[in-house]
């Protein structure tokens, strides 16, 4: 996930997409998901001026080979700022499923989470 963030921050959609499986699904409910690297490239290329930070926290709570599920919180700034929670399923080191939830907010991350920071 840090490599995806680094690629987005560099405006490198190709590098970001390379961290996903060929048939990956990228979604942000309730919107319909996007499937496959080609589709992901089409939605990632516009992030050239976006800034992403995963510094808020990453966790891989279930590393059993059959599960490979991780979660992370990050902020995303483009035309607006959102704070997001992402859940990923990893397959052989690549992201197979990405599901994120976002809240638009102009607050810094620290003010956004307040006392619930961990």
Q: What tens digit of pLDDT does each residue of 84-113 get?
A: 999 999 988 899 999 999 999 999 988 998
Q: What tens digit of pLDDT does each residue of 5-52 get?
A: 888 888 888 898 999 999 999 998 888 788 888 888 887 776 555 667
User: Does domain 2-112 sit in CATH 3.10.450.50?
Assistant: yes
pLDDT at 118 over 80: no
Q: Which residues contact 25 (CB under 8 A, 6 or more apart)?
A: 33, 34, 35, 96, 97, 98
Alpha-carbon distance 61 to 73, whole Å?
14
Q: What is the DSSP letter of 45?
A: G
Domain boundaries along the sequence of the chain: 2-112
Angle at 110 between CA 7 and CA 86, to 5 degrees: 45
- Does the pTM surpass 0.85? The reply is no
């Amino acid at each position: 996930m840090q490599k995806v963030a680094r690629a987005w921050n560099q405006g490198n959609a190709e590098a970001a997409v390379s961290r996903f499986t060929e048939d990956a699904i990228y979604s942000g409910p309730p919107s319909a998901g996007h499937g496959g690297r080609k589709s992901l490239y089409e939605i990632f290329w516009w992030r050239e001026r976006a800034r992403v930070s995963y510094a808020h926290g990453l966790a891989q709570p279930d590393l059993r080979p059959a599960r490979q599920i991780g979660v992370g919180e990050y902020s995303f700034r483009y035309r607006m700022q959102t704070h997001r929670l992402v859940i990923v399923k990893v397959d052989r080191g690549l992201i197979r499923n990405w599901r994120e939830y976002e809240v638009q907010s102009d607050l810094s991350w620290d003010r956004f989470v307040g006392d619930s920071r961990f």
